[in-house]
Structure 1
């Protein structure tokens, strides 16, 4: 089928478009700026058309020949988002009708309460749904509560609140019941709705198998993330307005987005029916499993997941380049670079030879102290050394590191196995800068776990200039020096080719 995806630069649309392609559909994406989709991995697999749902004159080219149109945009965070979304829905429905579209699919929010106390966020979602359902094109509305996946605003709010506050005073709405759903299952339902019978024009509640309070979600998130049980005291005076500012203070989720989300949490949100299973059958992921995938916590594998790529298990749950900057958890980095008066081949020889008896080209005492501290804490310290003096391969131990990725002549990525409150990596790159010069790029990456991880990073930050700064200077100096063999004769440095390395 020929599908149109609006909101392809957003959280759900950016994950849906490539999966529709995998399912064999022809995909066209509507965006106000085609440049925003230029660098996504799936850009060459879709057609991108520029247009604006607030300007009907820009829509005919986007809808031409389309059979199924996905309405996935919203203006949440803008002062007049209700008016903007109402106008966009009307223009979308009219353009779809004129183009002969057979099906509209809309992802909305949970059904607002009947007592009229709904938040502006839920009221707007329900209004958009009704506009589309009242139009001439058959429409399927999926009503989703909290979506679990890295990058989802609701999940990021849950992540940051839980990780940063081991003890917290919370609003009373943390005891409201919610039926969260994994982003993988949301996408499966969205794709499945493309094949609904033409007489289906209605809304469907969707949710995962677990109905939990927000407090239970925080406690279970903490357990999956390996954090201590959170101590929480609900407090009545914390109104939704105060709660939104509290969330904005504790988390990087912008207050303009936090306010409508918090407003929707004052109501219980769970599925009142499961009719969608008649058309799109299948089991949904549990809350714990959804969190596990969002965090990339895949067990029983030495080197299966990487911080820099989506996991092989469920990449849809992990961060994408199109996700907002505040999504994906806190990421601390120490970036450094040094110019080397030698070709990249000589620099790579030093990078691949690092560690073990060869040392770390830094302050030996500092590395020794850190190694002994790790052993006292029950870690591996520096005692493992390295398997081979000159060569490394993926998966092997290197002192307190594990080789997670290696591209001969270019990149070495090490994952820390020392005792730290989080996950840490060290990335080293050799970049050519002419026939006789190169650039050494070094990056230390740390994903903290809980408040202890934040404190740990702040505590070691003053030492980075000494340890990592010396490392850059000494590696550059070692690469510039002529290599010597065991008889102390100068020998040429030749990089190992992928073929020679057996990979």
Structure 2
């Protein structure tokens, strides 16, 4: 069986490859170029590109998704990690459907009993789960609270805190409970589900049935490292303060730490009726999982999640989510955008359409600010794609693109610019054009909501000509 793994270079992915290669052909998907080995074939794949995702999944039987988007994916990112996660997952699902994938396996996160206490990070994991569950491809969802492994970001943060701080001040919410899982058990659960039809379209929870707090975990780590540590609990340490000192002590990036800290505030119970039970397999206890993780732990190593994401210099990604009025499709949102810009700047801007080409122009003196090429081959009613082909404000690129897409079953519309390269000097761009774009998209969202029942007409001749 040929298995594609998105996130094969991560700490779960690397260990999963070692297990699956015994019986399967493995395809690793990565933004960074990697050399093939006897164990894995690597395919260059930026999952923000649906075309890349389709090429990455081509010819595979099963697709495993181990990705999150908390690291920056461009030199400048505008938007939130949960919206980035949605785009990547949506591309993965669309590509899986196009490539005839037989099963998707997603390793996600637990949900708290009180959904009102759910952190943004945990809610993002749930939204991604919904993307897979609504797919035409059978999905297997595995929910885990905390994976204990030597390169796991959460484990590494706790171990660094224990090693570097003889005295720690912890907020009361570090006493929230969870059910951790050993890395080897997480790998075993994924391996068990591969190609197993009884797990199709099912949601499972995985982890030890032993409940433990994060403070208890740090105390156990200290004991196993033979370190004497004192922990004082106080109620007024805010998540922002916690994020600051955790970043300073551990060296972890703020984009990673902040959502993880927010996720600690809620207990994450494991429901026994949802537990994935693997015949002949016993989940490790918390102490056994920590022994396994500490056996290969090195404080001087930088986990993949701590490292800068591979990204081009002076490249921009900007993603905005907008509530979709009833009946509004991505196609209608794209057409509304062509109507909105001139209305928002009467007498200054106009939009010209010639075949596949769309020009956003300054009226006087006449200047083409931005040139887009519509791609009917890559567009559908629920996703519209335009390539950025230059203009006064943009360099001409191959991959730069603007898209509108429906997400979460059409409940929202995402407008996104990917791989955009501005023409003006970088620092000038960051404090002028970049901020203006955010303002324009915010106002466009309000315009779309206000005029939700309007049906916009496609400009005549759009997509008939290939060249300007």
TM-score grouping bracket, smaller chain normalisation: 0.5 to 0.7
- Mapped to 1, the partners of 2:248 and 2:62 lie a distance apart of 41
Q: Compute the displacement of 1:197 (Å).
A: 1.5
- Mapped to 1, the partners of 2:96 and 2:304 lie a distance apart of 29
State the secondary structure of the residue aligned to 2:226: coil
Q: Compute the displacement of 1:34 (Å).
A: 2.5
- Paired residues in the alignment total 301
Residue 176 of structure 2 aligns with which residue?
176
Contact preservation (8 Å) 1:104, 1:138: yes
State the secondary structure of the residue aligned to 1:45: coil
Residue 110 of structure 1 aligns with which residue?
110
Residue 83 of structure 2 aligns with which residue?
83
After TM superposition, list the pairs within 5 Å mapping 1:329-478 onto structure 2.
none
Q: Compute the displacement of 1:242 (Å).
A: 1.5
- Mapped to 2, the partners of 1:203 and 1:225 lie a distance apart of 36
State the secondary structure of the residue aligned to 2:117: coil
Q: Compute the displacement of 1:43 (Å).
A: 2.5
> What is the TM-score with the length of structure 2 in the denominator?
0.60
Residue 268 of structure 2 aligns with which residue?
269
Contact preservation (8 Å) 2:141, 2:203: yes
For structure 1, the residue ranges without an aligned partner over 5 or more in a row are 297-309, 311-316, 328-503
Q: Compute the displacement of 1:171 (Å).
A: 0.7
Question: Once superposed, which parts of structure 1, at least 4 consecutive aligned residues long, lie more than 6 Å away?
Answer: 317-322
The alpha-carbon distance between structure 1 residues 28 and 319, as it changes in their structure 2 partners (threshold 3 A), is: farther
Residue of structure 2 aligned with 1:50, choices 26, 40, 44: 44
Residue 94 of structure 2 aligns with which residue?
94
Q: Compute the displacement of 1:318 (Å).
A: 7.6
- Mapped to 2, the partners of 1:325 and 1:225 lie a distance apart of 24
State the secondary structure of the residue aligned to 1:34: coil
Q: Compute the displacement of 1:191 (Å).
A: 1.0
Q: Compute the displacement of 1:27 (Å).
A: 0.8
Please state if 1:142 is matched with 2:136.
Answer: no
Q: Compute the displacement of 1:276 (Å).
A: 4.4
Q: Deviations over 1:315-361 (max 9, x none)?
A: xx78999943969xxxxxxxxxxxxxxxxxxxxxxxxxxxxxxxxxx
Q: Deviations over 1:89-139 (max 9, x none)?
A: 111111111211111001111114444232111111110011101111111
- Mapped to 1, the partners of 2:193 and 2:279 lie a distance apart of 7
Q: Compute the displacement of 1:153 (Å).
A: 0.6
- Mapped to 2, the partners of 1:72 and 1:320 lie a distance apart of 25
Contact preservation (8 Å) 1:150, 1:295: yes
For structure 2, the residue ranges without an aligned partner over 5 or more in a row are 73-78, 308-468
Residue 242 of structure 1 aligns with which residue?
241
State the secondary structure of the residue aligned to 1:253: coil
> What is the TM-score with the length of structure 1 in the denominator?
0.56
- Mapped to 1, the partners of 2:250 and 2:299 lie a distance apart of 17
Residue 73 of structure 1 aligns with which residue?
67
Residue 207 of structure 2 aligns with which residue?
207
Residue 191 of structure 2 aligns with which residue?
191
Residue 390 of structure 1 aligns with which residue?
none
State the secondary structure of the residue aligned to 2:140: strand
Contact preservation (8 Å) 1:156, 1:253: no
